[in-house]
Structure 1
Amino acid sequence: MKTTAPSLAVEDSPLTPFLKRLTAYTSGGPFLDGYILTIIGMALLQLEPQLRLDAFWTGLIGAAALIGLLVGGAIFGYVTDLTGRQFMYQIDLIVIIIISILQIFVTSPFELALLRFLIGIAIGADYPIATSLLAEFSPRKYRGAMMGLLASAWYAGAVVAGIIGYLLLASGPDAWRWMLGSSAIPALLLVLGRWGTPESPRWLVSKGRTAEALTIVKQVYGSRATLDDLDEPASEKTEISKLFEPEYFKKTMFVGLFWTFQVAPCFAIYTFAPQILDAFHLGSGTDWIIGYAVINIFFLAGTVASIFFVNKVGRRPLILGSFTFMTLSMLFLGVIPDAPSWLIFICFAAYAFFSGPPSALDWIYPNELFPTNVRASAVGVITALSRIGAAIGTFALPYSLQTVGIGNTMLISTFITLLGLVTCIIWAPETKGLTLKEASSIVLNPK
């Protein structure tokens, strides 16, 4: 598709040191998400006997952060569109630090479930804040890679959580407390790193604050840059109801559904990986941790690969191919749960690797398909929609393993992943090489 390049100064900007720093510190939110949602799976090994957790409390504690993500995304995406990206960019991390420390002192399942819910709200708030800020500063040539790096950061957080959890397990029966409290450390580092980040000039223009926007544009992109380079409509009103009007409803449903069908089985597997690997007889004692860590590396490798392919291959072919291989991998695990261990491991590794590109597109698609005045709201609402499925899947997985077994549990996951593939076949657009204005003007299936 031929594009209208509005500016060498903005949309065709080089990858400056500022943009690299912004990408790094914006990625901190997904890193914390991956860390916090993964470390609970390892902590549950000690939590279950110590706090005498039954299937209800195990599922609820595992899903509580996801439920919080739902609430945080839905509320604070809209708040971010109203009040700006910069202010909220710091506050949510301070909340994560406080709650992380409080988890060290819990004495009951209810207390832990409540704190996991609250920390989920803070993480959910960071999704629309940070991703909107990054999308609105990023040049089109690098936008896919910069946004894709957020997904890599999620899996990097999960890998680090696995390492920290493994090291802490040997410290005694209260190691789970230090596991849950350890997320305060990266959160504190991010607060320091994010300090001084400027407001999004696109958001400022959309609110009529043109003088402030021009100052930031010239600071970031150079003295040649002007507000015309942004190609951003001025003084547009933020109304979250627009997401459910005909112009944007298909986009909301498309991203919300494919994100849901991708993360519902993925988050459940991540949270209860020890139990799942044990059901497949992959290791005994703590040997499963090695397999778990290696599978995490495949998750990370898939997201890193997506950074290189998202612009070369294109958004649509990448997501269709990935969902196809994810579905086939999960189908094999469901049909032949008694296959040799090495073959089961290969299927898990394949599922993990091909989960990478959809994870990257979770961030790329909503930030490209919606305009500035509702971009954070869209990311927040869609995050909430996706986490409904993820929370249900995570809560239900312990029951599923107990009642229908590992094979049928994997078949249920296969069906969910297949629905994601069908959604993408029907609606997935191509936004490669487009400016934010061009991408947000796309109409899905106009006929």
Structure 2
Amino acid sequence: MNQPTPTDETGTAEGSIALDQVPFGRFHLKVTAMTFGANFSDGYALGIIGSALPLLTDQWNVNGFWQGMLASSALIGLFFGSLILGPIADKIGRQRVYVLNFILIAIASLLQFWAPNVETIFILRLLIGFGLGADYAVGPTLLSEFAPRKSRGLMLSSLTVLWTVGYVIANILGTYVTVGSDTWRWLLASGCIPAAIVLVIRIGSPESPGWLMSKGRAEEARAIVTKYLKAENVRIPKTHTEDAGQFSELFSPALRKNTWFGILFFSAQVLPYFAIYTFVSTILGAMNVSNENTQNVLINLFLLVGGVVGVYFIDKMPRRGFTLWTFVILAGSLLVLGIVAHANPWLMMIPFIIYSFVMSGASNITQVYPPELFPTRLRGTGVGLLNATSRISSAIGTFLLPISITHWGVSNSMYWLAAVLAFGAVITYFWAPNTESQKLV
């Protein structure tokens, strides 16, 4: 494995600071807001398919197989987008991928309005997922390389809050908006609106100075730090990297523990999340909930509040402790939900609300941990791999859950989802590092 070889550095020798010691400023807020876009769009895309799918199913008599395929289509696209474009971002830079992927997302979202069949919708949602997957690899990577170390957890975890905001808005629109028999077309195509807004505000965004440093492009990094961060006394090492990081290095002795922990914890957390909230209406129906809309809105409100509260605790707790205890609470909540699944609907809502509140807060860590597990020259590749494998896990859960509910019942479905979360707790206990003090650039 070829390591960067330090030569010298530019900047003020006396009193100089590292890039991640620059105090939080206006540009840090701006780059966080620009990165929000993918998370909001992803949450919106996943939420809106859950609302549109029952309408589409009624109109076109969509069978269970295609329901599962449409529900998991964006997740499959996310796999390929993260896996392919994460390494590309390590080679050519973060900025170009960061901007161009939203052209694809906006166009594919709009074209859903004219889709003539389920196969076309499936392909378009694969493309949407591909673009979003690219951003999941690049967005947190770029943001982490700009972020002050003390604010990194707050900046990265806030991204997931916007995922939840997008998801909740999509659910509320899907519940209450009706424009005739083609309502599902309007719902699906509405995803082009946030995508177009993100595209416009990202035009002109700068390259990551951390990535430029890793390529020995010190003067370009200095210019970006001076222009955007307004800092003159930042140490900019001049390094020479013989070649870009190789994918296989993620499984080298130095990194394989971090890589496998990232893959397994991320997958264990998101598999139940996407499965449950894509088919929340199906689950509530199987539990004989009569006031489904009201209780669905209640669940979404707790998702939103939980995400905000989770940002606070990520900033206050060690990464490992936060991840471990949220896994334990989540597994217990689904276990209890399975036990009381056919009890009084409002009694059943107690563990469901606890699960929603804690899961929303816990999911913030999926934006924080991955960039902190890998060095700069492999960060896009590593983050892309973790997002890719987690989305395959999510797609599997989303595909299997309606089949599981049909054949095994809702209680047994909650039990195996709880077992997935318990596995995540075990992996975290044995393998999770504390990375909150990790220097990223």
TM-score bucket of the superposed structures, by smaller chain: over 0.9
Equivalent in 237, 254, 265 of residue 258 of structure 1: 265
Q: Could you tell me which residue of structure 1 aligns to residue 109 of structure 2?
A: 100
The alignment status of 1:195 with 2:203, answered yes or no, reads: yes
Give the deviation of 1:10 after TM superposition.
2.9
Give the deviation of 1:234 after TM superposition.
4.2
Query: Residues 341-380 of structure 1 correspond to what in structure 2 (within 5 A)?
Result: 341-380=345-384
Q: Could you tell me whether the CA contact under 8 Å between 1:319 and 1:357 is conserved in 2?
A: no
Provide closer, same or farther for how the CA distance between residues 223 and 34 of structure 1 changes in structure 2, counting only shifts above 3 A: closer
* Counterpart residue type for residue 244 of structure 1: F
Give the deviation of 1:50 after TM superposition.
1.2
Give the deviation of 1:302 after TM superposition.
2.0
* Counterpart residue type for residue 218 of structure 1: T
Q: Could you tell me whether the CA contact under 8 Å between 2:47 and 2:171 is conserved in 1?
A: yes
* Counterpart residue type for residue 88 of structure 2: V
Q: Could you tell me which residue of structure 2 aligns to residue 222 of structure 1?
A: 230
Give the deviation of 1:199 after TM superposition.
0.4
Structure 1 gap segments, 5+ residues each: 1-5, 438-447
The alignment status of 1:212 with 2:216, answered yes or no, reads: no
Q: What is the distance in 2 between the residues matched to 1:45 and 1:65?
A: 17
* Counterpart residue type for residue 239 of structure 1: Q
Q: Deviations over 1:47-87 (max 9, x none)?
A: 11212111101111111111111111100101111111111
Give the deviation of 1:223 after TM superposition.
4.2
* Counterpart residue type for residue 181 of structure 1: A
Q: Deviations over 1:301-332 (max 9, x none)?
A: 22211221213122111111111110110001
* Counterpart residue type for residue 81 of structure 1: D
Give the deviation of 1:358 after TM superposition.
3.1
Q: What is the distance in 2 between the residues matched to 1:358 and 1:233?
A: 37
Where 1:247 maps in the other structure, the secondary structure is: coil
* Counterpart residue type for residue 249 of structure 1: R
Provide closer, same or farther for how the CA distance between residues 351 and 255 of structure 1 changes in structure 2, counting only shifts above 3 A: same
Q: What is the distance in 2 between the residues matched to 1:145 and 1:42?
A: 31
Q: What is the distance in 2 between the residues matched to 1:138 and 1:234?
A: 23
The alignment status of 1:182 with 2:186, answered yes or no, reads: no
Q: What is the distance in 1 between the residues matched to 2:157 and 2:89?
A: 22
Q: What is the distance in 2 between the residues matched to 1:256 and 1:301?
A: 27
Query: Residues 126-141 of structure 1 correspond to what in structure 2 (within 5 A)?
Result: 126-141=135-150
Structure 2 gap segments, 5+ residues each: 1-14
The alignment status of 1:324 with 2:328, answered yes or no, reads: yes
Q: Deviations over 1:382-427 (max 9, x none)?
A: 1111112111111111111110011111111111111111111111
* Counterpart residue type for residue 436 of structure 2: K
Q: Could you tell me which residue of structure 1 aligns to residue 36 of structure 2?
A: 27
Equivalent in 384, 387, 401 of residue 388 of structure 2: 384
Q: What is the distance in 1 between the residues matched to 2:113 and 2:163?
A: 23
* Counterpart residue type for residue 238 of structure 1: G
Q: What is the distance in 2 between the residues matched to 1:11 and 1:427?
A: 26
Q: Could you tell me which residue of structure 1 aligns to residue 4 of structure 2?
A: none
The alignment status of 1:282 with 2:283, answered yes or no, reads: no
Q: What is the distance in 1 between the residues matched to 2:169 and 2:240?
A: 43
Where 1:355 maps in the other structure, the secondary structure is: helix
Provide closer, same or farther for how the CA distance between residues 396 and 238 of structure 1 changes in structure 2, counting only shifts above 3 A: same
Q: Could you tell me whether the CA contact under 8 Å between 1:39 and 1:162 is conserved in 2?
A: yes
Equivalent in 113, 118, 125 of residue 116 of structure 1: 125
Q: Could you tell me which residue of structure 2 aligns to residue 39 of structure 1?
A: 48
Q: Deviations over 1:329-386 (max 9, x none)?
A: 0001112212221221111111111113431111111101111101011011111111
Give the deviation of 1:232 after TM superposition.
8.2
* Counterpart residue type for residue 260 of structure 1: S
Give the deviation of 1:273 after TM superposition.
1.0
Provide closer, same or farther for how the CA distance between residues 434 and 247 of structure 1 changes in structure 2, counting only shifts above 3 A: closer
Q: Could you tell me whether the CA contact under 8 Å between 1:64 and 1:113 is conserved in 2?
A: yes
Q: Tell me whether 240-249 or 127-136 shows the greater mean CA deviation.
A: 240-249
Give the deviation of 1:290 after TM superposition.
2.6
Q: Deviations over 1:179-205 (max 9, x none)?
A: 000010011111111121110011011
Q: Could you tell me whether the CA contact under 8 Å between 1:159 and 1:297 is conserved in 2?
A: yes
Give the alignment's TM-score, normalised by structure 2: 0.93
Give the alignment's TM-score, normalised by structure 1: 0.92
Q: Could you tell me whether the CA contact under 8 Å between 1:39 and 1:158 is conserved in 2?
A: yes
Give the deviation of 1:134 after TM superposition.
0.3
Q: Tell me whether 367-376 or 6-15 shows the greater mean CA deviation.
A: 6-15
Q: Could you tell me which residue of structure 2 aligns to residue 238 of structure 1?
A: 245
Q: What is the distance in 2 between the residues matched to 1:118 and 1:194?
A: 20
Q: Could you tell me whether the CA contact under 8 Å between 2:16 and 2:235 is conserved in 1?
A: no
Give the deviation of 1:8 after TM superposition.
4.5
Q: What is the distance in 1 between the residues matched to 2:95 and 2:39?
A: 17
